[in-house]
Chain A
């Protein structure tokens, strides 16, 4: 169905090709997962299927890409629209019309499908993706998962034979991600659509893949069955990591397969306890009492009591819309807070001018690039030094400690997601705040970048500060947090040590915990430490 024949892609002004001599043959009806670290060329590979690379993005493509016999060199993307459907990471940016029904019909209108056929296909697609009761709703009112399903539906109505998805679940909470993934697998199994999917958060999707294409980052591409490829990749979900550590053959990809193979490992670890970070009662750094945040009629945070302690990393979890962002902004002092008290070092950050509040509580928002407005990294760092009243070079040192190797002349928008996050983190840390808040920092980060972020947060906590991270990513929370708070409908429903809170519920448990339950190991690192400790 899709053939790549010695394909090399080089962008204008780049020294090395992004993809080099790629040979790939994807048969019909397969779910093919594209994995690799950030910057390895996944988006270029997916764009080449459709013809967006090079017709839309520019650059040079050597070799041939054929989709169902049609060569993309002779067919620009609009000619391939009835054959290939493309869904991107941000569905709202790709919507052309106002309501769900019109969006579903838009693609067919461009392809001159007769009116009666259009009506029928819209109804079928609404049923297939479970959108029937949303048909008249405006698109901006939908939740993230619903928007992503509408985006899939809008390309599906043209009845394409190939569906290309670039990180569809990165912005979604676990439940919404499950909805989208089950819709995709239904397409593969019921309709025989060939699906090409690029993802960072592999733990949810690796069990459904029929084939994995791994991009190592040097331009080369290897393809094969998941069990083969994951033996040697640098990016792997926890279940694969555990399988590699324990030497299971064949490599299990789902929690169920791993549990079947995990008998001997469970027996070996039976007597041992994981090295848990016990919650030593440190001094309080931030105390919040009865915080109420209201957006018009809607109550986002309903009288929440919260205490953050020094040198502790806490995680704030909850589904989209539960009030996490509102709470973080209220704690920082810049967001609305209708009642309640927040005390950091004896003062309320809301009453202080911005420059002072920054020194008490620093916040890294959901879109870190909102804070960047200068032309080069060096200019941003110099500005950060000026704003925080610190000697010249402080921000640069912080950035080098967090992520070395970012050249000063780069434009901030040209950095990868992980590098942008470290830049903004360095800018906020220049003010040396007591408390650091991060709003969904793991979005768009691959496993290596998440490891780097983990190290950064441990360093920050080690200096005596408190860290509060709002995130969906259970694996990240299991690795980094000492304490977990769960927010639902604006109220705190759980607050306790990590091991207690996230193992208790099946939806929140990390993969390692699910595989090794009833043992309370949360991460592969804990397992390997326990095994190494026993060997000594």
Chain B
């Protein structure tokens, strides 16, 4: 195993995408176990640090701030909803202000609008929202750190066609946007903006016809280059592979849900996850045997990958343990209203996840393009 030089320069390379996803999944599991605002804020800080330290300059890597904005919107929506829809108020609550009650018709009597808005209710909504937002940011961090297309290339041979379909659809989005911009500009030459269905039709029809023509060209090109060779796999073996994979993926999803949701019994999460992974492996092995396809320069899995994924998964494990050892600190009660405690074990666990920012090799730098600062994307700009 190549040694990681502690003093010398490390060779910049991109980390294996699965390592980043495992790290992010571990953090997401950890976040789902706590509603302590200090811990959640620490997780956000860790995410921000790792993303800014290890993200590349490519276009897809710059989206993390949109996830943060989205997180803010989620929290705001939660607070607003809790304020608008009346919730039971206990005598201990600190009332902030009172919204006028709106009478609801008899058939909708279960919901009440308006009423007093208490600090505890708003805080509880905010913390819930913050937890959800942190999970979203974990996924956003994984998307910003690992090129989604390279992540799809890692898919084993049996899932290859699925991966290609997703890859192609990811590339279609910028082309569609380009097409819409071009057609919208061309509309100025004919009749300007038209409201309503007519106007939409005059933009949508050329764009869709364009998209259809391009997709046919792409399909012809891929066919001519050999995509879709089935090798020697027989129909029955392909059906078996597909069935095993489908069941396995369902098992994985159910197991993951069981781990993230702590209202379900502990016996549900882990065993279902393991069963699902076994089925998946079986399906992949069955599929791989017959598929003839090689991979160009696959990402290696070395020490940094182990360290990064290990730190995320260890963080999740430590928080699950802390949840059974000292649950009160992880989910502090709002009554009485006081400053939340900072438990030691979860803090260490989250800081451990932050070491991924150091363990991962520095990202490869893109050499600046001499001359044109703006890419000549299509012939539109020239």
Point out residues on A near B: beta carbons under 8 Å.
Answer: 50, 52, 55-56, 76-79, 81-82, 84-86, 88, 90, 92-98, 102, 105-115, 118-119, 122, 136-138, 140-141, 143-144, 154-155, 158, 171, 295-298, 300, 320-326, 329, 332, 334-335, 353-355, 358, 362-363, 365-367, 369-374, 387, 413, 427-428, 440
Contacts and interface: CB of A to CB of B under 8 A. Distances in A.
Contact of B167 (A90, A96, A355): A96
In this complex, the member of B168, B205, B214, B379 whose beta carbon has the largest number of chain A beta carbons within 10 angstroms is: B379
Contacts of B164: 96
Contact of A96 (B168, B186, B228): B168
Given A93-B214, A140-B377, 17 more contacts: A78-B224, A78-B229, A94-B221, A96-B218, A105-B296, A111-B229, A112-B292, A118-B294, A158-B225, A158-B226, A295-B381, A298-B372, A320-B379, A325-B379, A329-B185, A370-B186, A373-B205
A515 B53 CA distance: 63
B191 interface: yes
Contacts of A94: 217-218, 220-222
Which 9 residue pairs of A and B lie closest in terms of their CB atoms, listed nearest first?
A354-B192, A94-B221, A81-B226, A105-B296, A370-B186, A110-B226, A334-B188, A141-B375, A373-B205
Contact of B191 (A88, A137, A154, A354): A354
A354 B168 contact: no
A9 to B, nearest CB: 16
Contacts of B377: 140-141
Contacts of B185: 329, 334-335, 365, 370
Given A81-B225, A88-B221, A325-B380, A365 B294 contact: no
Given A96-B168, A158-B225, A326-B381, A297 B373 contact: yes
Interface string B278-289: 000000000000
Nearest to A470: B382
Interface in B209-261: 209-210, 214, 217-229
Given A94-B217, A367-B182, A143 B376 contact: yes
B191 A365 contact: no
A300 to B, nearest CB: 7
B206 interface: yes
Nearest to A318: B382
A86 B228 CA distance: 16
Given A115-B296, A118-B294, A326-B381, A298 B224 contact: no
28 contacts: A50-B224, A77-B220, A78-B225, A81-B225, A86-B224, A88-B220, A88-B221, A92-B378, A93-B217, A94-B221, A94-B222, A107-B226, A110-B225, A112-B294, A114-B294, A144-B379, A296-B373, A296-B374, A321-B382, A323-B382, A324-B382, A334-B188, A354-B188, A355-B191, A355-B192, A362-B189, A371-B189, A372-B206
Contacts, number: 192
B62 interface: no
B75 interface: no
A118 B189 contact: no
A401 B237 CA distance: 64
Contacts of A55: 223
Contacts of B344: none
A345 B367 CA distance: 50
In this complex, the member of A295, A373, A427 whose beta carbon has the largest number of chain B beta carbons within 10 angstroms is: A373
A114 B295 CA distance: 8
Interface size class of B (residues with CB under 8 A): 35 or more
B381 A113 contact: no
In this complex, the member of A108, A110, A158 whose beta carbon has the largest number of chain B beta carbons within 10 angstroms is: A110
Contact of B381 (A111, A325, A354, A371): A325
A119 B200 CA distance: 48
Given A141-B376, A354-B192, A373 B382 contact: no
A109 B293 contact: yes
Nearest to A106: B225
Contact of B374 (A295, A320, A326, A334): A295
Given A113-B294, A373-B201, A154 B225 contact: yes
A82 B227 CA distance: 12
B187 to A, nearest CB: 8
B74 interface: no
B78 interface: no
Given A354-B188, A427-B190, A111 B226 contact: yes
Given A56-B223, A94-B217, A370 B168 contact: no
In this complex, the member of A82, A96, A363, A366 whose beta carbon has the largest number of chain B beta carbons within 10 angstroms is: A96
A325 B382 contact: yes
Contacts of B187: 371
Contacts of B382: 300, 320-326
A365 B296 contact: no
A355 B188 CA distance: 9
B204 to A, nearest CB: 8
Contacts of B222: 94, 96
Contacts of A295: 374, 381
A372 B205 CA distance: 8
Nearest to A111: B226
B348 to A, nearest CB: 39
A137 to B, nearest CB: 8
A395 to B, nearest CB: 12
Given A96-B218, A155-B225, A298 B373 contact: yes
In this complex, the member of B214, B217, B223, B369 whose beta carbon has the largest number of chain A beta carbons within 10 angstroms is: B223
A78 B226 CA distance: 4
Given A143-B376, A326-B381, A365 B293 contact: no
Given A325-B380, A325-B382, A370-B206, A102 B225 contact: no
Interface string B292-303: 111111100000
A369 B189 CA distance: 12
Nearest to B219: A56
B369 A97 contact: no
B186 A371 contact: yes
B98 interface: no
